[in-house]
Amino acid sequence: MAKILGIDLGTTNSLAAVWDNGKSVLVPNAFGEYLTPSVVSVDEEGTVYVGKTAKQRLASYPGQTASLFKRFMGTGKQYRLGQKTYLPEELSALVLRKLKEDAEKFLGESVEEAVISVPAYFNDIARNATKRAGAIAGLKVERIINEPSAAALACQNFRQQEDATILVFDFGGGTLDVSLVECFDNIIEIKAVSGDNQLGGQDFDNALAAHFLRSFKIDPENLTWETKAIIRSSAERCKKELTESKTAEMVVNSPQICEKITISRKDLVTICADLFQKMGKPVKRVLMDGKISTDMIDDIVLVGGSCKMPIVRQYLEHILQRKDIETMNPDQMIALGVGVSAGIKERDEEIKDMILTDICPFSLGVNVVNETNPDKKLTSFIIERNSPLPISKEQIYVNSWDGQTCMRFGIYQGEAMYVEDNILLGEIKMSIPPRPKHTVECRVRFTYDINGVLEVNAYIPMTNEEKQMVIVNKELNMSKTQIEEKLKEFSQIKIDPAQDEENHYLMAWGERLFMQCDGEMKEEIMRKMHGYEHVIKTDPYSAGKARKYLTVFLTCVESMLDHYLNWDEKEINMGSWYEDEGDAEMDEFFKKWDEEDL
Ligand code: ADP
Ligand code: MG
């Protein structure tokens, strides 16, 4: 049977996994890496770059590059990249197609189906948009799994432990998801979810960037887009360095600003104090919703790149009064779990006993008459938030006035008391016989399944009339032919072929550094890049060597950018610097290019 690809389609990074030989394994991309940045860029010729090449182009070609689009899935937001505009699900489709193509190359077989994880707070519209992204990428997506369910699956699969209550703390680039999961007799049940979709690693970057600007009394109004991007990425680098060491330098080296400050972990805590406060709230809420105390939790699983920060773990230990929180590959947990889910869907013998339940992350209901204020209809909830899935529930409604001939039920998603504050998903209309008020019954049944499909049934016992509808959002949902057209349109888009990818990545990297540097270093980068292009075109035999050397060179430039400020002032002697590196052979090689090219 063909393999199903498990995909963690992340805001910042995406990963793929498959169920293989009784376990979930990550699938590397064309660079041999597990993380593919969820970034898409288009060049003048219309070639699409996805992943780390596109990420380099964020700073050098901001107008042709998009990132963080997952946040706007299903909203209709348009991204203009070069000549064309794209919806968030179309950009996601390009990421999915890249993952699919890389996986096919790695697995040596074609992949037609995928299970994709989405945040628990994603509403139906966003879930449908995710499925559509799959369809446009040429993938059948029958199952969408909540990210916390995936993390719990991975955890349970790893530890092979007995019954357990697990707290999943997923702290990514832009969102925080906290969930309480119970595992009993091979049933994995999500008991409660909570979170903050406006809190993530980027907020730490932004806080650091703001601190930097304050320290030097710089008004961000006067900065170019490029400088702002450089400041943000320096902030992120500094934050990541603080994961490894107790202090780190934040260095900004752009044509507009050349400054650095030293930040300690303690500073980071002070600068980001309000973020920690926000972080604690969903944890408390989930424990309250799940009606348990911290000592009843068996395992605390940290997921998402931001959990790598030691201060995040320490803060959690503090608020949970626990000393036993460990971090295992936080950025791989979800993908590994989706891989398990793919295995379940493949009905692999090894895991046929594992039953995955999920919960409904939002409430679903219908509108009812508000006697005191007829203009503001109330929500009557049929399925409550945090209900285990699949679920089927019925409520009985009666006619509100004498002689009423029709009952209309708007179907809503959300937690608000008034329907106008919730999301309208559809409407069902029932004709009823004209009778005195409160004498005609209509039974409304909602069935919500693990794949996020809502089925609504309305039944009038008096007339035996019954109506059924399956909720799909009309405006944003596409018909089969529309999907086919999109699929055709998108399959004509050329994604940078894997064999050229490494070259293009190096060029994009070089271009970004070129933009960031000035003076002598700018010229040096240009010389090396020209030389490199020359070798690639004329001497394919040396291409591998040239790639290796250019990579070393760019890595050096990058690290020098991180640690030195002004090239010309510091009088960095390129020659002696290479000798320091102890690679005379490389120096020779570069010299040859220089001579040939200039
Ligand atoms: P998402 O689920 O949003 O795609 P990830 O789980 O990949 O995100 O996490 C991305 C976030 O993790 C980014 O904000 C990134 O800066 C942060 N991050 C990654 N590695 C580290 C690290 N070593 N230290 C601190 N933060 C990190
Ligand atoms: Mg994530």
Please list the residues that pair with 299 across neighbouring strands.
166
- Chain length of the chain: 598
In this prediction, residue 517 carries a pLDDT of 79
In this prediction, residue 354 carries a pLDDT of 57
Residue of 102, 124, 170, 189 marked catalytic: 170
User: Measured in angstroms, how far is the CA atom of residue 169 from the centroid of ligand 1?
Assistant: 13
Question: From the CA of 197, which ligand is nearest?
Answer: 1
Q: Identify which of 349, 302, 360, 293 has the alpha carbon closest to the alpha carbon of residue 155.
A: 302
Q: Whose CA is nearest to atom 24 of ligand 1?
A: 240
Which protein residues are within 6 Å of ligand 1, measured from CB? 10-13, 172-174, 200-202, 236, 239-240, 243, 304-306, 308-309, 331
Phi-psi region of 68 (alpha: psi -120 to 50; beta: other; left: phi over 0): left
Token output for 445: 């049944």
Cα separation of 152 and 299, whole Å?
10
Please list the residues that pair with 442 across neighbouring strands.
397
User: Tell me: the pLDDT tens digits for 181-213?
Assistant: 888 777 777 788 888 878 999 999 999 999 999
In this prediction, residue 436 carries a pLDDT of 95
Cα separation of 400 and 368, whole Å?
9
User: Measured in angstroms, how far is the CA atom of residue 176 from the centroid of ligand 2?
Assistant: 9
90 is known as an active-site residue: no
In this prediction, residue 348 carries a pLDDT of 60
Question: From the CA of 35, which ligand is nearest?
Answer: 1
Question: From the CA of 335, which ligand is nearest?
Answer: 2
147 is known as an active-site residue: yes
Residue of 52, 55, 70, 131 marked catalytic: 70
- Residues 406, 449: contact at Cβ < 8 Å? no
In this prediction, residue 579 carries a pLDDT of 36
Pocket test for ligand 1, best of 7, 8, 11, 12 (most atoms within 8 A of CB): 12
Q: Identify which of 75, 114, 108, 109 has the alpha carbon closest to the alpha carbon of residue 93.
A: 114
45 is known as an active-site residue: no
Question: From the CA of 70, which ligand is nearest?
Answer: 1
Angle at 261 between CA 256 and CA 264, to 5 degrees: 150
Q: Identify which of 111, 134, 109, 115 has the alpha carbon closest to the alpha carbon of residue 344.
A: 115
Q: Whose CA is nearest to atom 12 of ligand 1?
A: 305
CB-based contacts of 316, cutoff 8 Å, min separation 6? 169, 283, 300, 302, 322, 325
User: Measured in angstroms, how far is the CA atom of residue 173 from the centroid of ligand 1?
Assistant: 5
User: Measured in angstroms, how far is the CA atom of residue 573 from the centroid of ligand 2?
Assistant: 43
Ligand 1 atom index nearest CA of 14:
4
Q: Strand (E) positions, 432-485?
A: 441-448, 454-460, 465-470
User: Tell me: the pLDDT tens digits for 264-320?
Assistant: 999 999 999 999 889 999 999 899 988 899 989 988 999 999 999 999 998 999 889
* pLDDT mean values, one per 10 residues, the chain (598 residues): 92 95 94 96 92 92 92 89 93 97 96 92 82 93 86 80 86 89 78 85 95 94 86 93 94 87 93 91 90 90 93 90 84 94 78 61 88 89 84 93 94 90 90 94 90 86 93 56 81 77 91 82 86 83 85 85 53 35 52 52
Ligand 1 atom index nearest CA of 200:
14
163 is known as an active-site residue: no
Cα separation of 121 and 74, whole Å?
13
- Residues 2, 112: contact at Cβ < 8 Å? yes
User: Measured in angstroms, how far is the CA atom of residue 348 from the centroid of ligand 2?
Assistant: 26
- Range list of H helices, 189-332: 201-215, 225-244, 265-271, 273-289, 310-320
Pocket test for ligand 1, best of 240, 265, 303, 312 (most atoms within 8 A of CB): 240
In this prediction, residue 83 carries a pLDDT of 86
Q: Whose CA is nearest to atom 18 of ligand 1?
A: 305
Ligand 1 atom index nearest CA of 204:
14
pTM reported for the whole predicted model? 0.75
Residue of 90, 101, 147, 524 marked catalytic: 147
SS (H, E, C) 479-496: CHHHHHHHHHHHHCCCEC
Cα separation of 356 and 486, whole Å?
33
Q: Whose CA is nearest to atom 13 of ligand 1?
A: 173
Q: Whose CA is nearest to atom 2 of ligand 1?
A: 172
Classify burial at 79, counting beta carbons within 10 Å of its beta carbon; exposed 0-12, middle 13-18, buried 19 or more.
Answer: middle
In this prediction, residue 247 carries a pLDDT of 94
Ligand 1 atom index nearest CA of 174:
3
CB-based contacts of 546, cutoff 8 Å, min separation 6? 531, 532, 535, 536, 589
Query: First vs last Cα of the chain: how many Å apart?
Result: 57
Cα separation of 63 and 187, whole Å?
48
Q: Whose CA is nearest to atom 22 of ligand 1?
A: 240
The bridge status of strand 388-389 relative to strand 358-359 is antiparallel
